[in-house]
Homo-oligomer: A and B are copies of this chain.
Amino acid sequence: MTTDANLVHNQGVTAPLGFRAAGIAAGLKASGKPDLALVFNEGPDYAAAGVFTSNQVKAAPVQWSQQVLKSGRLRAVILNSGGANACTGPLGFQDTHRTAEELAAALSNWGTETGAGEIAVCSTGLIGDRLPMDKLIPAVTEIVHEMGGGMSGGTDAAHAIMTTDTVPKEASLHHPAKWNVGGMAKGAGMLAPSLATMLVVLTTDAVATPEQLDSALRKATRRTFDRLDVDGSMSTNDTVLLLANGASEVAPSQEELDAAVLAVCDDLAGQLMADAEGITKRVLITVQGARSEGDALTAARIVARDSLVKTALFGSDPNWGRVLAAVGTAPFELNPDAISVSFNGFPVCIDGTGAPGARDVDLSGADIHVVVDLRLGDESATVRTTDLSYAYVEENSAYSS
């Protein structure tokens, strides 16, 4: 969607000045792969903002980080894969609290006086099991010592938060005015099976207040991560954080900050879609001609979540009737006889009935853009989604462990 010549993919959270990161194997994953990541802000500022899952069932680290973020200040983020620490009760919350306390102590010993209330915690993995604290606690001290100043730390961190992701996801934007935004991400929605969750950490060396960060982050997530819908499922652990340290000594305008954060979020959202579980098609659903952007988004989500649309796209089948049937369930008034649909620019349905050649449209490629025109107004919205494949069923039906 957005493209920016200043965006690169080989750097992430350590692209901005004054951020360190690391990723190590703490032994939380049975595979022995990296499963613990740290992002550390060297200052001079410690401004931060966050957005979290709107699921009412919230994991312990989400509850903790929401509380911590009220101060608008973060020194570090510690993230683990290999366990969601969700639905684990008061003891699970104590585990999160203890992780933050241990990291604060380790950072203080290392020379940076830090309190647990300056540390956000993110977790991803199977819901319902306690984390193995006997493995996690020693690793929290170890990762502080591993924390390098170079670029590789950011990439190591991006690897350590992977669950069923096949590639690490990083992006960074280098603004001509000499300030930077970087980020890393994993997963998307609850597309990852028992090993769920979207986690995103963004960093910037711009000078910005927590309020400016919060505004930029909410605007960006609303148009990017919120419009990525792989299976309609919402994780208990979704977290997107933005940390700013002012190390560039440049204070961009709100508009500049908004644009840069949006560009990085949009790029990471595209990477999340492209690596969604079981994906064989990258699908954009655009609904235009709606009375409001909200209506357009609602209708686009309904189409994006429809199993019959998604299986048809998996089969490269231009079955536009299923798109009409899905749109027809929208909770606002439609004019069915005015709806048009195109697949990759080819009209398949005009004024509610089939267009000539509609059954012969070639959808065999990996990218499919479905455009639905409601002809009710001028507003539009686009949702990123995927097809529903054998591989999705396979990855999500394997036993929890």
Find chain B residues with CB under 8 A from A339 CB.
57
Chain B's closest residue to A353 (CB) is B89
Q: A315-B398, A398-B315 are in contact. Are A194 and B57 (CB under 8 A)?
A: no
Contact assessment for B308 and A190 in the assembled complex, using a CB-CB cutoff below 8 Å: yes
Chain B's closest residue to A55 (CB) is B328
Within 8 Å of chain B (Cβ to Cβ): is A231? yes
Find chain B residues with CB under 8 A from A349 CB.
87, 128
Within 8 Å of chain B (Cβ to Cβ): is A319? yes
Interface residue range, chain A: 35 or more
Whole-angstrom distance between the alpha carbons of A400 and B330 in the complex?
Answer: 24
Contact assessment for B315 and A57 in the assembled complex, using a CB-CB cutoff below 8 Å: no
Contact assessment for A89 and B337 in the assembled complex, using a CB-CB cutoff below 8 Å: yes
Within 8 Å of chain B (Cβ to Cβ): is A311? yes
Within 8 Å of chain B (Cβ to Cβ): is A110? no
Contact assessment for B325 and A57 in the assembled complex, using a CB-CB cutoff below 8 Å: yes
Whole-angstrom distance between the alpha carbons of A56 and B329 in the complex?
Answer: 6
Whole-angstrom distance between the alpha carbons of A57 and B129 in the complex?
Answer: 45
Within 8 Å of chain B (Cβ to Cβ): is A271? no
Find chain B residues with CB under 8 A from A352 CB.
57, 87, 89
Chain B proximity of A231: nearest CB distance (Å): 4
Find chain B residues with CB under 8 A from A324 CB.
57, 86-87, 127-128, 236
Closest 10 interchain pairs by CB?
A127-B321, A57-B328, A315-B397, A311-B396, A89-B353, A55-B328, A128-B321, A128-B354, A231-B307, A311-B397
Residues of A at the B interface (CB closer than 8 Å) are 54-58, 84, 86-89, 92, 126-129, 190, 193-194, 196, 231-236, 305-308, 311-312, 314-315, 317-322, 324-330, 333-334, 336-337, 339, 349, 351-354, 358-359, 388-390, 392-394, 396-401
